[in-house]
Amino acid sequence: MASRMASYKNQTSLFSHCVYFENSSRDEESGQVDKFVGLRFIDGKLSIHFPVGYKEPDKSDEKQIRLDILNLISVLSSFGIPEAELVRNDFRSKQQNVEFPVHAYLFIISDFLNHGYYQKKEQIYKRGTSGKINWSRTIKQLRPQIADESPVYLEFITQKNLHNENALLTLIHKYCVYESFQKLGFLFSSYNPQKSSLSFNKSLFCSVIKSKIASTFNEKELLLFKNMLDMINYLDNSSEKKDFIYGTNNFHHIWEQLVDSVYGEKDKEKFYPKVYWRLNGSSKAFEPDSEKRSSLRPDTIMITDRGKSNQKIFVLDSKYYRYGATKNPNHLPDSGSVVKQLAYAEYIDNPKNRSKLPDSVGENISDSSIYNAFIMPAENLAPQNIGYVSADYVFPQNSDVAEKPYHKIYGILLDVRTLMYRHIPHDKDMISQLANVIGNT
C-alpha cells in the first residue's frame, strides 16, 4: 500500500493534485461539471476538488495551496450537515468506501508534530504479597498486626511497572502516525515517519487502547486515543483499502450554510410562509409536518438597522450555480426559483402577516424596505451585482420602474474563497457591504 500511496507525494507540486472548475471534468454534451468537492484518492491518484468559483492561487505558492486545502477540509468538517451527505462511496470508484475519518488523521499528525510519539512509564500499586514492596505506601495505608510486641505486615503495597503495555501502545501509535502521514502528511511537511514493526490487528489495537482509556484521566491523552480508535475502526471496515474519499457531491447545502452563517438572522423561521389544508368535514386546519412545511423557505433573511425606521430586509436565496465561472445566462436561476423568491417577499410585506414577525421588525416594515437577491459563487473579491430577474405579472418588461423593490431579484456574485476563509457569524462589515450592493441599485 505504501508504494502506491507514496506515488502522489513524489510530485513536485501540490497544485498538480488540485482540481478547479476550469480544469475539472465535464460532460461536453450537457455541460455538466463534476460536482464533487473534497479529497479523493482513487486507483492510486489523489485529487483535491475545490468548489465552483474558487480562485486558483499561484501554482508555485505551496504554502497558500496547503492553507487552501486545510481550509477546505475545515469547511467540510464544520458545515458537513446530514443534508450535505459527506460521501461514503463515490461514483468514480468501483468499490464501496466507508466514511474517511479525516479529523482523526489530521489530529494524529498535528499531535505527533507537537508532542512526538506516545511514551509513558507508569507504575501501579496494589495490595498483595508478591512484587516489589513500596514500604512508604505500605506503612501509610495498611495497619500491621502486632506479634511479640513488634509490627508484622501480612500484606504489602507492591508496585508493578507497565513498561510492556506502554511500549505496545507506543508501537500502535507509531502505526497510526505512519498511516496518517501516508495519506495526509503532505499537507504538513515532507517528513516521512518510520514504519511501525506491528502489523494491523484490530482486536489487539483496540484492546490495548480501550484498556488505557479506562485507566486514564488525562484529557489530551484521551483525545489522542479516541482518534486512534476512529482510524483503526476505519481501517478495519475498509480492509485497508487504498482508496479513500472525504467530501460531498452536494456542496450547495454547504454554500447555503456559509451564506446564512455570515449574513443571516437567527430567527428566520418567523419569516417563512406557512401552508395548511382544511379538509371537508373537519373543523380544524391541518398543517403538514415541519419537514414539508419548511420546504418553502428562504435560505437567509438579512436585516440592517433592525427595529429602526430605516430598517431594510433582504431575502437571500443561495444558489450554487456556475454563472460566476461561465458567464453563461443558462446557468442562472430558473422561473421556479423566481416565483418562490417573490412569494417570500410578498409574505413579509403583507400587513396581515406582520404580527407573526418579531415585534421590532414587524413594526418598521414598509413596502419600500424589502429586497430580493440570489447569491452565487464567483471569484470576485467584492460582491458584484450582475443585474436582476423578475416576472411579468409583477414587473412587465416594458415598465420603467418596479412598483416595489423586491419585484427585482438581483443576481449577486460572492467570492467563494473569501467566504470559506472568513465565515464569521453575522459579520457586520460583510453585511453592510452586501446591503449596499443590493439596496443602492
Amino acid identity, residue 370?
I
| pLDDT score of 284 | 82
Whether the predicted pLDDT of 414 surpasses 70? yes
Report if residue 221 sits inside a domain: yes
What gap in Å lies between CA 227 and CA 414, rounded to an integer? 36
Whether the predicted pLDDT of 340 surpasses 70? yes
What gap in Å lies between CA 308 and CA 365, rounded to an integer? 9
* Number of other CB atoms surrounding residue 436 within 10 Å: 13
* 135 and 217 both lie in a single domain: no
CB 210 within 8 A of CB 171: no
Q: Which domain holds residue 189?
A: 106-122+175-240
Whether the predicted pLDDT of 211 surpasses 70? yes
Q: Which of 195, 229, 249 is the last residue of a domain?
A: 249
Question: If phi over 0 gives left and psi between -120 and 50 gives alpha, with beta otherwise, what is residue 380?
Answer: beta
* 278 and 408 both lie in a single domain: yes
Task: Over range 289-309, report the average pLDDT.
Answer: 76
Amino acid identity, residue 60?
S
Torsion sign over Cα 254, 255, 259, 260: negative
Task: Over range 162-183, report the average pLDDT.
Answer: 86
Task: Over range 227-250, report the average pLDDT.
Answer: 80
What gap in Å lies between CA 68 and CA 50, rounded to an integer? 9
What gap in Å lies between CA 104 and CA 120, rounded to an integer? 21
Report if residue 2 sits inside a domain: yes
Residue 290 burial (10 A CB sphere; 0-12, 13-18, 19+): exposed
CB 178 within 8 A of CB 196: yes
Whether the predicted pLDDT of 425 surpasses 60? yes
Residue 47 burial (10 A CB sphere; 0-12, 13-18, 19+): buried
Q: Which residue has the cell 507504575?
A: 123
* 117 and 200 both lie in a single domain: yes
* Number of other CB atoms surrounding residue 237 within 10 Å: 14
Question: pLDDT class for 14, splitting at 50, 70, 90?
Answer: confident
- The verdict on pTM exceeding 0.75 is yes
Whether the predicted pLDDT of 25 surpasses 70? no
Whether the predicted pLDDT of 54 surpasses 70? yes
* 152 and 59 both lie in a single domain: no
- pLDDT digits over 253-290, tens only? 999 999 999 999 988 888 888 777 888 888 887 776 65
- pLDDT digits over 104-116, tens only? 999 999 999 989 9
Which of 11-25, 181-195, 315-329 has maximum average pLDDT? 315-329
| pLDDT score of 31 | 41
Which of 78-82, 97-101, 146-150, 404-408 has maximum average pLDDT? 404-408
| Domains contained in the chain, number | 4
* 74 and 47 both lie in a single domain: yes
Report if residue 193 sits inside a domain: yes
| Residues in a beta bridge with 45 | 42
| pLDDT score of 28 | 41
Q: Is 421 helix (H, G, I), strand (E, B) or coil?
A: helix
Helices (H), 186-326: 202-214, 219-237, 251-263, 290-293, 323-326
Report if residue 387 sits inside a domain: yes
Whether the predicted pLDDT of 79 surpasses 80? yes
Amino acid identity, residue 430?
M
What gap in Å lies between CA 179 and CA 235, rounded to an integer? 10
| Residues in a beta bridge with 313 | 303, 370
User: What value does the mean pLDDT of the chain take?
Assistant: 82
Whether the predicted pLDDT of 232 surpasses 80? yes
Angstrom distances, CA of residue 365 to CA of 2, 361, 369, 374, 386: 64, 7, 7, 21, 27
Q: Is 344 helix (H, G, I), strand (E, B) or coil?
A: helix
Task: Over range 376-382, report the average pLDDT.
Answer: 89
What gap in Å lies between CA 247 and CA 243, rounded to an integer? 13
Least confident of 51-60, 65-74, 127-136, 310-319: 127-136
What gap in Å lies between CA 186 and CA 132, rounded to an integer? 48
| Residues in a beta bridge with 86 | 248
* 287 and 329 both lie in a single domain: yes
Closest CA to 211 of 171, 166, 160: 166
* 345 and 422 both lie in a single domain: yes
| pLDDT score of 159 | 65
Q: Which of 191, 207, 240 is the last residue of a domain?
A: 240
* 156 and 71 both lie in a single domain: no
| Residues in a beta bridge with 48 | 18, 39
